[in-house]
Amino acid sequence: MSYIGKSVKRVEDKRFITGKGNYTDDIKIPGMTQGIFVRSPYAHARIKSIDISAAEASPGVVKVFTGEDIAASGINGVPCGWQVNFKNGDTMKEPPHPILVKDKVLHMGDGVAFIIAEDYASAKDAVEKVIVDYENLGAVTDPQEAVKDGAPLVHDDAPNNICFDWELGDPKDDVAAALKSSHHITTLDMINQRMVPNAIEPRSAVGHYEESHDKFTLYTTSQNPHLTRLLMCAFVLGLPEHKVRVVAPDVGGGFGSKIFHYAEEAMVIWASREINRPIKWTAERSESFLTDAHGRDHRTSVQMGFDKDGKITALQSTTFANLGAYLSTFAPAVPTYLHGTLMQGLYTTPLVNVDVTGVFTHTNAVDAYRGAGRPEATYQLERLLDLAALEMDMDPIELRRLNFIPKFNGTTEPGYQTRVALQYDSGDYHGVVDKALKMVGYEEFRKEQAALDNGKLLGIGFSTYIEACGIAPSAVVGALGARAGLFESAQVRVQPTGKVSVYSGSHSHGQGHETTFAQVVADRLGIPLEDVEIVHGDSEAVAFGMGTYGSRSLAVGGSAIVKSIDKVIEKGAKIAAHKLESRVEDLEYAEGKWTVKGTDKSISFGDVSLTAYVPHDYPADLEPGLDFSSFYDPANFTYPFGCHVAIVEVDKETGQVKLKRFIAVDDVGNIINPMIVDGQIHGGLAQGIGQALFEGTVYSDSGTLMNASYMDYAMPRADDFPSFEVDRTVTPCPHNPLGVKGAGEAGCIGSTPAVVNAVIDALWKGGHKVKDIEMPLISERVWNAMQNGSSN
Amino acid sequence: MNITTRINGKEVAREIDDRTMLSSFLREDLSLTGTHVGCDTSGCGACTVLLNGKAVKSCTVLAAQVDGEEVTTIEGMSNGSLHPLQEGFKEEHGLQCGFCTPGMIMTSADLLSRNSNPSEQEIREALEGNFCRCTGYHNIVKAVQHAAKKMNS
């Protein structure tokens, strides 16, 4: 039977619904100790002295390490995996990122000591006994303030706190000239606020050194165990990779924040050899707020020009991107290659220039958070389009349609080359809009909106987005500064009985790979789903892997699996031909058996598998066994797109925004499991809407993260949302064997501007000519905007 | 101090440090790691268990407080066959990473014990103390509806 396109219930669910999942913090090893970090309460301070004597003497304490110990041991800092060059060709500033700080802390939460005790309570008691004398040096948290002369410096060798400046697209002068001669210019100065990823499972790491084997095992909450092993071994600790096993067991959500190699992972591994005992560290929630890499945090000025008919003439986008105090693994890529390259959107804009300055501040590191750069690009474009429609008194959908890139399939018609480096693979942008408008009942809505008279304002907002995922062709990203390849590996091991074990370098932390990947394998091999097992997340079981992020698992990891299956079928055919006394070219493979074309002579997959491992009657020139590994390096990014529509109600008296409906029509290419794809979209929508309405960090001027707990940071709750209305169109990806594009981030990329646009529409139609309100759109800001015509 | 309590129907007697939280008593002392800890301020609800049938957040209940009381964790929800809520979460794809799921199921069990046929809004309000970052709550609501329907049939 076919498994493709079926909402197969997830095979991984049983362990989770019965409390039998195995998350990192659940792991217990005999003799295991508990580690806790002592972290800086200051954003920028010199450590004048640190006294650990009382902590060392505290009951149950095994060992206390400080930054001094780390420096003396010769451990390198945590590396950055992506290099962006200055416009003049100079390499970006890349200051060291020690795993414990010796002399100067650079953000609140910077680690200054690591306490290891027999149990958590003893370690916690000892934290209070570490006495650090800090000299507060004054902080800067806003990237636009940080680049000014005289601002406190984060790193002495990064003048004006600039990590890099960077530009993409057409010459700035050409864009400026086109804007100047435009019929209309729409301008926005906006803050894409800093977000905290907030996986509900806090980060955790267990380091286990076994002297008897001279071997290390790291259990960690990672989306990316092999890359963590590579970075930690080769760059931080100088350990031989083959002596280090990294396991990412069940992982409780990532959203980007668990891609990166963190200092805590290196710390527990190094320290476990020092004390010759296993060590577990698990972040407290406030520690997660302070140290999990954050997302977004762009200050942007953007101008879009239009001719008298509404055709876009040019776009200029200028951003100061806050990178935090240290460069996280992929930090430089996010505001540049994952943001600037998407600034053409779905439109035929003839001139585009994107200018980005990456800036250090005394804040936690910023890196990829669900969408990573693409939400920031989409937010600019889609806010501009809806606002321009209001300003020019046009319909926001008609304005978009006028500027859409025409439909193309990427096979018989070429891909679409943008002004900002990408070649889109396939697209049908009117198709998603048509479907979404039908779901909304657009004309009826406008009538209802005009007639409303109940103390509320009703608004509708649109977003038509495109994103680049399925990352990524290694040679392309290498040319753009990636210090890694972005292929994926997969091994398909057919057991003698015809059961199949698949070892994938992708990692599931909620995405359901154990089901979706098994559907692909069972379908291609024509065997029952229950005969397939997907293994992932263990560097000792899986040959290599680049992990899961950038909506890449099925497009890249799934394609690697397909390559290995193809090899299995190709070799199996040789065995089958021998057994059937036929020629390979006379065989066809379907429904789990090889059949001599035009006859009823056949041999099953199970019989061929057994023959491969019991090769008594066997082709003379063929190796035994049926086990293949493949590496798949994609030919291009994939380009999902969609149309999101928000309908909101705004209370005239309080400014309270209520999301009434949310309609999402996404095109993520071919679908393997619709239930899982819808689930990915739902989750993405909640995070995108969360940014629009609720979430965001608040740093004080002195660099204190003011809302570093669930008492203070507004996480979206069940009663903040209506049920979502989701549907899709299908435009297959032309360049991977499954035709899939990826669904992990689409919901989060498209939804944010639709919600803000809906609030602006409500206000505008209610007589308030408000062009912008700073996210999140809390009632105070909306109310103030209604009173003053601005958000402040 | 010594406590005696019933966990998932079985009597448990232990000597504990006075300050032990119920969540760490379950996870560390009894190895019932299905109860997860996502914060320490009663914010996320991942640690929710039933105390005498009522949902409580075990990260802010002292183990001492359950002396003489009855506690049910996710491990105690299925006896041979899945509880209708467990079934509902699977059938309706009400979980992705699974970390919030035990707490969601326990809070929903409390809701359904008080209100056997809740509306969508009542379900959403009952779950507002439990965070999920994966599902957008959409399928969690459907999972609870699925269970309510099954339990009423």
Distance to chain A for B103, nearest Cα, Å: 10
**Which residues on neighbouring strands pair with residue A538, listed in sequence order?**
A247
- Summarize pLDDT for A417-434 with one digit per residue, the tens: 999 999 999 999 999 999
Residue type at A705 in one-letter notation = L
With beta carbons under 8 A apart, name residues in chain A contacting B49: none
From the list B33, B89, B130, which residue is nearest A17 (CB)? B89
For residue A366, the SS3 value is strand
| Cβ pair A682:B34 closer than 8 A | no
From the list A16, A685, A709, which residue is nearest B98 (CB)? A16
Distance to chain B for A537, nearest Cα, Å: 14
Token duo for residue A294: 């954050």
Q: What's the pLDDT score for residue A788? A: 86
Distance to chain B for A72, nearest Cα, Å: 35
From the list B75, B91, B120, which residue is nearest A9 (CB)? B91
Q: Assess whether pLDDT exceeds 80 at residue A731.
A: yes
| Cβ pair B99:A21 closer than 8 A | yes
Ramachandran class of A759: left when φ > 0, alpha when ψ lies in -120 to 50, beta otherwise: alpha
Residue from A22, A198, A200, A287 to probe the interface with B (highest B Cβ count within 10 Å): A200
With beta carbons under 8 A apart, name residues in chain B contacting A511: 96
Mean pLDDT, all residues of chain B: 97
Q: What's the pLDDT score for residue A322? A: 98
Percent of chain A with pLDDT over 90: 98
Token duo for residue A751: 């939804």
Distance to chain B for A553, nearest Cα, Å: 15
With beta carbons under 8 A apart, name residues in chain B contacting A710: 39, 41, 43-44, 131
With beta carbons under 8 A apart, name residues in chain A contacting B102: 19
Token duo for residue B39: 């914060």
Residue from B39, B81, B86, B105 to probe the interface with A (highest A Cβ count within 10 Å): B39
| Cβ pair B97:A15 closer than 8 A | no
Q: Assess whether pLDDT exceeds 70 at residue A173.
A: yes
Q: What's the pLDDT score for residue A791? A: 44
| Cβ pair A682:B135 closer than 8 A | yes
| Cβ pair B133:A198 closer than 8 A | yes
Q: What's the pLDDT score for residue A455? A: 84
b/e per residue, A485-508, with b = 16+ CB within 10 A? bbbbbbbbbbbeebbbbbbbbbbb
Rounded (10°) angle between helices A559-580 and A605-613: 80
Q: Which residues 6+ apart lie within 8 Å of B135 measured at CB? A: A679, A682, A683, A686, B93, B94, B95, B96
With beta carbons under 8 A apart, name residues in chain B contacting A20: 34, 75
Q: Give the up-direction half-sphere exposure of residue B20: CA atoms within 13 A in the CB hemisphere.
A: 23
Neighbours of A592 (CB within 10 A): 17
Residue from A7, A8, A12, A16 to probe the interface with B (highest B Cβ count within 10 Å): A16
Q: What's the pLDDT score for residue A726? A: 98
| Cβ pair A9:B101 closer than 8 A | no
Q: What is the average per-residue pLDDT within A235-250? A: 97
Distance to chain B for A335, nearest Cα, Å: 24
In A277-413, which ranges are E strands?
Answer: 279-282, 295-306, 312-324, 352-360
Which chain B residue has its CA at the smallest distance from A10's CA?
B90
Between strands A295-306 and A279-282, the pairing is unpaired
Residue type at A418 in one-letter notation = T
| Cβ pair B98:A15 closer than 8 A | yes
From the list B17, B34, B130, which residue is nearest A20 (CB)? B34
Q: What is the average per-residue pLDDT within A74-89? A: 96
Distance to chain A for B122, nearest Cα, Å: 9
- Summarize pLDDT for A752-775 with one digit per residue, the tens: 999 999 999 999 999 999 999 999
Distance to chain B for A287, nearest Cα, Å: 10
| Cβ pair A10:B90 closer than 8 A | yes
Distance to chain A for B12, nearest Cα, Å: 19
Q: Which helix (H) or strand (E) holds A633?
A: none
| Cβ pair B33:A250 closer than 8 A | no
With beta carbons under 8 A apart, name residues in chain B contacting A284: 39-40
| Cβ pair B138:A721 closer than 8 A | yes
| Cβ pair B97:A252 closer than 8 A | yes
- Summarize pLDDT for A440-469 with one digit per residue, the tens: 999 999 999 988 877 899 999 999 999 999
Q: What is the average per-residue pLDDT within B77-91? A: 96
Q: What are phi and psi of A342, to 5 degrees?
A: -100, 10
With beta carbons under 8 A apart, name residues in chain A contacting B123: 718
Residue from B59, B82, B123, B133 to probe the interface with A (highest A Cβ count within 10 Å): B133
Ramachandran class of A441: left when φ > 0, alpha when ψ lies in -120 to 50, beta otherwise: left
Q: What are phi and psi of A340, to 5 degrees?
A: -60, -35
With beta carbons under 8 A apart, name residues in chain B contacting A678: 93
For residue A189, the SS3 value is strand
- Summarize pLDDT for A557-579 with one digit per residue, the tens: 999 999 999 999 999 999 999 99
Q: What's the pLDDT score for residue A1? A: 67
Neighbours of A785 (CB within 10 A): 23
| Cβ pair B120:A18 closer than 8 A | no
Q: What is the average per-residue pLDDT within A711-718? A: 98
- Summarize pLDDT for A259-292 with one digit per residue, the tens: 999 999 999 999 999 999 999 999 999 999 999 9
Q: Which residues 6+ apart lie within 8 Å of A697 measured at CB? A: A193, A194, A195, A196, A294, A705, A706, A707, A713
Distance to chain B for A9, nearest Cα, Å: 7
Gap between the Cα atoms of B128 and B132, Å rounded: 10
- Summarize pLDDT for A607-656 with one digit per residue, the tens: 999 999 999 999 999 999 999 999 999 999 999 999 999 999 999 999 99
| Cβ pair A710:B97 closer than 8 A | no
Q: Assess whether pLDDT exceeds 70 at residue A792.
A: no
Token duo for residue B140: 């969690």
Return the closest-CA partner of residue A197 out of A281, A340, A297, A326. A297
- Summarize pLDDT for A521-558 with one digit per residue, the tens: 999 999 999 999 999 999 999 999 999 999 999 999 99
Neighbours of A389 (CB within 10 A): 22
With beta carbons under 8 A apart, name residues in chain B contacting A687: 133, 136
With beta carbons under 8 A apart, name residues in chain A contacting B131: 198, 200, 710, 715, 717
| Cβ pair B139:A679 closer than 8 A | yes
Q: What is the average per-residue pLDDT within B83-88? A: 98
With beta carbons under 8 A apart, name residues in chain B contacting A253: 96-97, 99, 133-134
With beta carbons under 8 A apart, name residues in chain B contacting A509: 97
With beta carbons under 8 A apart, name residues in chain A contacting B145: none
Mean pLDDT, all residues of chain A: 97
Q: Assess whether pLDDT exceeds 60 at residue A790.
A: no
| Cβ pair B34:A19 closer than 8 A | yes
Query: Which H, E and C letters describe chain B, residue by residue?
Result: CEEEEEECCEEEEEECCCCCEHHHHHHHHCCCCCCCCCCCCCCCCCCEEEECCEEEEHHHCEHHHHCCCEEECHHHCCECECCHHHHHHHHCCCCCCCCCHHHHHHHHHHHHHHCCCCCHHHHHHHCCCCCCCCCCCHHHHHHHHHHHHHHHC
Which chain B residue has its CA at the smallest distance from A712's CA?
B43
ipTM for the complex shown: 0.98
b/e per residue, B7-33, with b = 16+ CB within 10 A? bbeeebeeebeeebbbbbbbbbebebb
Query: What's the Rg (C-alpha) of chain A?
Result: 27
Residue type at B140 in one-letter notation = I
| Cβ pair B86:A201 closer than 8 A | no
From the list A121, A200, A676, which residue is nearest B132 (CB)? A200
Percent of chain A with pLDDT over 70: 99
With beta carbons under 8 A apart, name residues in chain A contacting B86: 17-18
